[in-house]
Amino acid sequence: MNLNATAVVTGAARGIGLEIAKKLINTGWTVAALDMLEDDLNRSAHKLGSMYRPYTVNITDTQQLAVVAASIGKELPVVKGIVNNAGITRDALMMRMGEDQWNMVIDVNLTGAWKVTQAFMRSLIRAREGSIVSISSVVGLIGAAGQTNYAASKAGLIGMSKSLNRELAARGITVNVVAPGFIETEMTQKLSEEVRSDYLSRIPAARLGLPVEIAEAVAFLMSPSAKYITGVVLPVDGGLTT
């Protein structure tokens, strides 16, 4: 299947973003994979073939983004999808958190998503169709000690998306949020047994989620089946927040 449309996916070199890229490619999208990790991007491009197009860029840099947006406009099918997935953590209790830790996380997770959306949304508006999905977190819904910066950035994505939905829904564009729970990634594999079993005891499904389960939700929200679903926050968390 070839949709002849491009989805821009940030943080797509590895982890959940890479899984989202794979799933979108399987459903016919060309994926413009934006990430800072050039080696990982090239490795993934080698594995996934020509529907995965790597672009090395720091999404906090407006000028780099403008250059990449211009290249994508020339090189790839029309952009009709945006997935704001790139994210970082810089955890510390608020008493000890430095302003640099606060700023860095807000810059990447929230302002970065705003910049990427602004850099590519004109294309969706011109096409009079498309979908924007931002990857938040259950932490944006329920909070987590040591993550005031991360939780604020992830809750911010929800406010941004709900507002943008009100600007774009009448133009045939859906704007949604996926809020993953605890997902099996490098990050969670490094947790101690104690922390892991504490997480597990709080998840009704009694297991961590898989990156592919996040990718499935994103692909659904970007599919024709979800054209009338917009402005929602979809938790994919084994029942943790419900």
Annotated catalytic residues are: 150
CB of 150 to ligand NAI, least distance (A): 7
Cβ proximity to ligand NAI: between 5 and 183 the closer is 183
Helices and strands (DSSP H and E) totals, the chain: 10, 7
3-state helix vs strand vs coil in the chain, percent to 5: 50, 15, 30
Site for ligand NAI in 139-178 (CB under 6 A): none
Of residues 7, 135, 155, 226, which one binds ligand NAI by CB under 6 A?
Answer: 135
Contact 209, 183 (CB under 8 A): yes
The CA distances from residue 179 to 10, 78, 99, 183, 197, in Å, are 16, 27, 26, 11, 21
Structure tokens at 235: 């938790």
Count of residues binding ligand NAI (CB under 6 A)? 27
Distance CA 10, CA 134 (A): 10
Report the nearest approach of ligand NAI to the CB of residue 228 (Å).
26
Rule CB under 6 A: is residue 230 a binding residue for ligand NAI?
A: no
Annotate each residue in 85-114 with x if it binds ligand NAI (CB under 6 A) or - if it does not, as one string.
xxxx-------------------x---x--
Q: Cα–Cα distances in Å, from 183 out to 137, 188, 194, 208?
A: 10, 7, 16, 5
Structure tokens at 206: 């009694």
* Distance from C-alpha of 194 to C-alpha of 165, rounded to nearest angstrom: 41
Which member of 14, 90, 171, 196 binds ligand NAI (CB under 6 A)?
14
- Binding of ligand NAI at residue 65 (CB under 6 A)? no
Looking at the Cβ atoms of 37 and 169, the one nearer to ligand NAI is 37
Task: Work out whether 187 is an interface residue with ligand NAI (CB under 6 A).
Answer: yes
Distance (Å, whole) CA 155 – CA 133: 14
Q: Please identify which residue in 7, 9, 11, 51 interacts with ligand NAI, judged by CB under 6 A.
A: 11
**Nearest C-alpha neighbor of 115 from the set 37, 155, 162, 59:** 59
Q: Which two tokens stand for residue 210?
A: 């898989």
Stretch that binds ligand NAI, among 15-23, 69-77, 119-127, 223-231 (CB under 6 A): 15-23
Q: Is the dihedral of CA 66, 33, 35, 224 positive or negative?
A: positive
Task: Tell whether residue 238 is a contact of ligand NAI (CB under 6 A).
Answer: no
| Closer residue to ligand NAI in complex, CB, 79/218 | 218
193 versus 228: smaller Cβ distance to ligand NAI: 193
Least distance CB 90 / ligand NAI (angstroms):
11
Contact positions vs ligand NAI (CB under 6 A): 10-11, 13-17, 35-37, 58-60, 85-88, 108, 112, 135, 137, 180, 182-183, 185, 187-188
